[in-house]
Structure formats: structure tokens, C-alpha cells
A and B are shown apart, each in its own frame.
Chain A
Amino acid sequence: MRRIGIPKALMYYRFFPLWSAFFQGLGFEVVTSDSIGRGLLGRGSIAYFEDSCLPMKLMVAHCLDLAEKVDMLFAPRLISIHRKYIMCPKFRGVPDIVKLATGGQAEVIDEPFDSRLGSNPWGTFSRAIGDRMGLKSREIRAASRVAFRLQAKFERDFPKRINGLSTGDLFHVEVPTPGTISPPGDLNIAFIGHPYNLFDVDVGKDVIGMAKKLGCRIATADSLDGYEIDRRASHLSKEIYWSSGREIVGAALAFLARDDIDGVVFLSSFKCGIDALLQEFLKRTFKAQGGGNVPFLTLSLDEHTTVQGLTTRLEAFADISRERRSRGIR
């Protein structure tokens, strides 16, 4: 059985169920990388991407970790995952960087995925992968069908998983979604940011888990209606052309308009171009539209971020949000 490695970085934190089910359906053994401590991070950051943001460095670190163990490495060139909008430009260079870093230890699956082209981007993408591996298109279609069903179910359950499971288990597909438990806590805190900032324990140091311990119920963009996010983002004076940026801004504005949200936390990674620009926009929009009354916390994450530093800030933030709620400031 051939082994395929899926690095635990970047869009793993959105599409892992889809990818893993797809490759399992094709008869691969799917290997994911281990969580990475400080030691491994050093290897990745020195290798090729020292000027990049932490999630990108982690991608390289994970790939280096996996390359020895697998025959193939799944690092697709994600250009666009939305019909109209694109991904961060750094994503376009990921396979090239991974290839240079791993030095041909494992075959890198670098097929481009571009939703702007054609009506069936996944079809094109999966067929290209099938062609490379010499698989029949019938097998590909069958595997895709199963995978999509699984991903859809996963996405439906995701808001429940966030509050019911620990962050580390979120993307372990074999861990079942907890039933309807009303999550403990008295504060509703919205977390916005790229999925890999929010859910990657190596990047975010499990901020979500910390917030839960402080008595917060977590809301993320996944719990919002996609249509609502899109509507909010479309009303702006200019089209935000990054799909992730759109999601962040749309979700933030949607949370701002809601009454039951006590505060918004924005997780950004240091050197992320999209976050830096949107952070400035969000900060000032919250000031102008929310009357400065909605607590808004920006946490900038990099490899020097410590748990203690984040805890202090989150505690203060939770205190402010609680105070605001008890005084009934709206």
C-alpha cells in the first residue's frame, strides 16, 4: 500500500476530512505529521522560508517531518477555493518551496486547484491527480463522492465540535462529534482568523482551549451562515479579493451586528499580509460602527509567542467583556 503524507498545516485545518477520505478511498494509507514542538520548528524556519509567516514555516517543517516516512507528499497549489476570490499569493509558491526543502525525498503532489476556472474544479484537480498516479476515473469519482459526503457532514458538525472537543481533537475525524451538550460558560466570544491560526495548536497555542477554560462559549465563522458573511463583505466599498480575508471581514462585521456576542478576538500571524491590512480596517470599523463598545482583541502570533503571554491577554479580555455585559453597555 502506498503511503501519502498530508502535512498538518495551512488548509489541512479546513479540508482534512475531504483529502483523507479521498486518498483512503483510492487505497492509500494516509499519514499525517506529528504536532511540532519547538525543535522541529527550527528545522523548518531555517530551511527556506525565514521571511515568511509562521503557518508557512510550519508547512515546511511538517513536510520535512513527513518526507522521510511517506512515498508521496500532498502539497497542492491552492490558487483559489472560491468561485471568484483567490488565496494568499504565498500559497501559490508552497509546492515549489516544499520541493526545494525536501530535496526530492518524496514525490510532491503539486496539482493546482483553481476554482475560478471551469465549473468543476475538484473534478479537474482530482483527475489530474488520478492521471499522475495512473488511476481510473471511475475510482476517482467514487472516492470523491464519499469524500465530499464526509466533508459536508464534518462542516455541519463543526460548530458543535468546536465547543465540545479539545482543539487537538477537532480534526481527528475518528473522534465522534459530541451530541447536543450545552457548552458551559457565560460569555460568547467570537474568534476570527484564518483556520490555521485558530485551530493549529502550534500557531495559536490553543487559544480557543484557554478561552473555554475562562468560561467562554466559542463562535467562529463556521457557525455563521455563509450567505450572511458574503453579504456583509459585499457591502464594502471595495471587493476584498482574498477568500480568507473576505471571510474574516464578513464574519467580523456579522458578529459586530449581533447582540449576543460579548467580544471579538482576531488571531493573526505576524507577517501575514492579509491580516495586517484587514486588522487595520477592522480595528477602525469596530471603533466607528460599534461605538467603541465592542471589545476587540488582536493577537499576533509567531514562533516566540508563549502560552503565558496569551493567557494574560485573554484573561484581561474576558474580564472586560464580562464587565461590559454586567453593566449592560451595548
Chain B
Amino acid sequence: MKVTFPHLGTMHIFCKAIAETAGIDYIVPPKTSKRTLTLGVKNSNECICLPFKIILGNFIEALELGADTIIMVGSGPPCRLGLYDFVQKVILEDLGLHYRWLTIPPRLDWPALLKNREETKELKKELSFKNITTFPYALWIGWKKMMACERLEKLALKVRAREIIKGKTEKALQKALACLDEAKTGKAIEKAVIEGEKILGSVAQDRGRQPLTVAIVGELYTVMDPQINRGVERKLGEMGVEVTRTSWFSSHIMRSLGVGGQNRRERFHFYQASLQYMGYDVGAECNVSIGEAIVRARSGYDGLVHLMPFACMPETTASGILDRVSSDLGFPLLTLILDEQENEGRITTLLEAFVDMLRWRRQGFH
């Protein structure tokens, strides 16, 4: 049995850790490339959202490398993510690829367990006793690694905005993450984090700089994955902007598990703020995007970048309303709609213009 999973930001680091610790064979799909995207685009249609295409491409490439079990997160209504597996299965079958599919249910309840019963039975045959007993430990290691990744990434956001030589932070972050990737035990992870923080700390910084502050909101996949958003976060950082985002793996996992007080309170706060424009919970990140925009505007941020895949259902509503929020509150907003037709220059140019505008605003031009 060879397990595979889609790419999403730094997810491969801790998914790998889980599989490794539990002693399960795995294949990390090749890094998302042009080919991945082309495969995804070829086998779907133009109005399906970009994450679908990239995930599909990841799976096709992983299956070509010999993986046979796909693990995918599930989700509930109303967003399309909940039916990704349903349609992707049909597409992969049509392509003549063979696989076994496991969906991690968004909420652990009886219907979810019943739906996955067949697959679980199959799996039981292949997993050894040792695999199963070490699994909780593996999950713990995975969780720890995920938190460590996020800690490093969050630190990098701060450092990047103040770096003196462009691109140094990115290199340091990659080095730190590679270091973390090597760590096998809980202790080693803690050590790797301290080491990583040291590496990031050694980047030459201009501590006196007051960077612009920009919040990134929008559909979680486009916000979290630098391959999909073409490194918006990094580009902004290298233009001297301190980026904030509230979409992290931990926040989404904790939300779906119903734990993590602070994080949920913050989300609820955003939701409450959005109610003056939206009378109802539209689902996915729509309300949170709008609410966060309002909250960030009030708390003195310089601007907001809204990311969404082309034809994303909840975010389309959000973008219509965000325009209004932005003009009502006088809060600069840049909406980036992403799909497969993308050239490097477009996003860079848009971001440069946006940052220039923010800078003028700060200097007092309106």
C-alpha cells in the first residue's frame, strides 16, 4: 500500500511525518508544476475551481509514480470542496487509473463513518498491528510538525517585511523547513524549531522600518498555497509589507474539531462584523472574509488582498460585497481572481501598484 495526498502549502511536511512514523509507505506527489496544472485542466472544464484542477493533477502524477491509496480531506456543504472526491473518482476511473480512496470526514459522526466503512475494511487487511498502534503517536508528531511549520512561517512573515537583502528570508525559511522535515521525534522537532528560529533570526533586518500591514483573506486553499496564489505572500513581503492571515491549517482543523477557543472567538468576531452587510451565513469563508475586512479596516491596517479562485461560489458573493465595504470604509482592496491562465507578470504588477498606492496613502496623499 502506498499512500498519497494532495499538496497544500506545507502540508506535505507533516503528512509525510504521519505516514513515516506509523510506518506506512507513502508517495509525495511531485511539486505542483505546469504539468500538474495542465493535467488538471485537461481533465476538467473551465468553470471548475482551480484547487480542483491542481488536486486532480497532483493525484494523477502521484498515481503515475505508483501510489495506490489517495487520502483526501472531505468537507460539508455548501462549497464544492465536499464533492471533489465524488467527481474526481469518476474522472480518474475514466482515465483508467486504479486507486483506493479514503476521505477524511469533516466531522466525525456516524454517517461519515458508515460512508467510509468499505474502505476502512479494505485498509484493515493491509495495515499491520504496529501501524495501527503507532498511529496516534504519528498523529501527535504530525500535529507538532504542523504547529512548528506554522510558527516558522509566521515568523518569516515578520522577518520578510524587514529584510535588507531581498529574498534572504525565503532562503532561510526553506532551510529551516528542510531542517524541520528531517526531525523524527518530538524532541527533535522542538530542537529544529529553535534552530529554524535562529536561522530566520540571522537574516539581516532593518529593525527601525515600519512596514505596511496588509491582511490576506479569501478562499482557504488559495490563501494557503503559494503554488496556487503564485507567492502573493512572499511577493508582498519582499515589497516590504507585513502580511497577516488567519487561514492556517491549525485554525481550520481546530475549527472543524470544535476546539481552540481563541481562534474560534476571533472567527466569531469576524462573523459578527460581517452581519451589517450580510444577513446570513453564506458558508465557507465568505462571511469571514467580509468580517475580517471590516475588522482590519477599523484596527488600522493599510490594505486588504482578497484571493479567490475563478468561479468560486461563496467568494463570488463576498467579492461583490467587499467592493462596497472597501468604498464605504475607505479601505484599499485588491481582489485577485486566480485561474490556470496566469502569467507571472500580472500578479507582480498588480501587487506593485497596490503597494505603491498604500505607501502614498501612508504619506498623506489621497
Contacts from A to B (Cβ < 8 Å): 48-52, 77, 79, 86, 88-90, 92-93, 95-97, 100, 110, 112, 236-238, 240-242, 270-281, 284-285, 287-288, 300
Contacts and interface: CB of A to CB of B under 8 A. Distances in A.
A277 B83 contact: yes
A86 B324 contact: no
Contacts of B201: none
Contacts of A77: 279-280
B86 A88 contact: no
A168 to B, nearest CB: 28
Given A51-B319, A241-B82, A242-B78, A276 B282 contact: no
Interface in B94-134: 94, 115
Contact of B283 (A51, A92, A279, A281): A92
B155 interface: no
Given A79-B280, A241-B83, A281-B86, 11 more contacts: A49-B316, A51-B337, A86-B77, A88-B78, A89-B313, A92-B281, A236-B86, A273-B80, A274-B313, A288-B94, A300-B47
B147 interface: no
Contacts of B46: 276
A112 B280 contact: yes
B282 A280 contact: no
Interface string B30-55: 00000000000000111111001000
9 contacts: A48-B323, A89-B78, A96-B321, A100-B320, A240-B86, A273-B312, A275-B47, A276-B47, A281-B87
Nearest to B86: A238
Interface in B125-173: none
Nearest to A88: B313
A110 B279 contact: yes
Given A273-B312, A280-B90, A92 B317 contact: yes
Contacts of B337: 51
Closest 9 CB pairs of A and B: A276-B47, A93-B317, A89-B78, A238-B86, A241-B77, A273-B313, A284-B94, A92-B282, A271-B311
Nearest to B111: A239
Nearest to B44: A280
A100 B277 CA distance: 9
Contact of A89 (B85, B277, B317): B317
A276 B48 CA distance: 6
Contacts of A272: 47
Given A49-B320, A93-B282, A238-B85, A273 B311 contact: yes
B284 interface: yes
Interface of B: 44-49, 52, 76-80, 82-83, 85-87, 89-91, 93-94, 115, 277-284, 286, 311-314, 316-317, 319-321, 323-324, 337
A267 B319 CA distance: 26
A273 B320 contact: no
B360 to A, nearest CB: 27
Contacts of A52: 316-317, 320
A90 B86 CA distance: 22
B71 to A, nearest CB: 16
Contacts of B48: 276-277, 280
A96 B277 contact: yes
A287 B95 CA distance: 12
A48 B320 contact: yes
Contact of B284 (A89, A100, A242): A89
Contacts of A279: 45
A280 B91 contact: yes
Contacts of B83: 238, 240-241, 277
Contact of B286 (A93, A97, A237, A270): A93
Contacts of B323: 48
A112 B282 CA distance: 12
Contacts of B319: 51
Contacts of B91: 280, 284
B87 A280 contact: yes
A280 B45 contact: yes
Given A93-B286, A96-B279, A281 B90 contact: yes
Contact of A238 (B47, B115, B312): B115
B122 to A, nearest CB: 14
A238 B280 CA distance: 27
Contacts of A96: 277-279, 317, 321
A270 B323 CA distance: 22
A99 B366 CA distance: 29
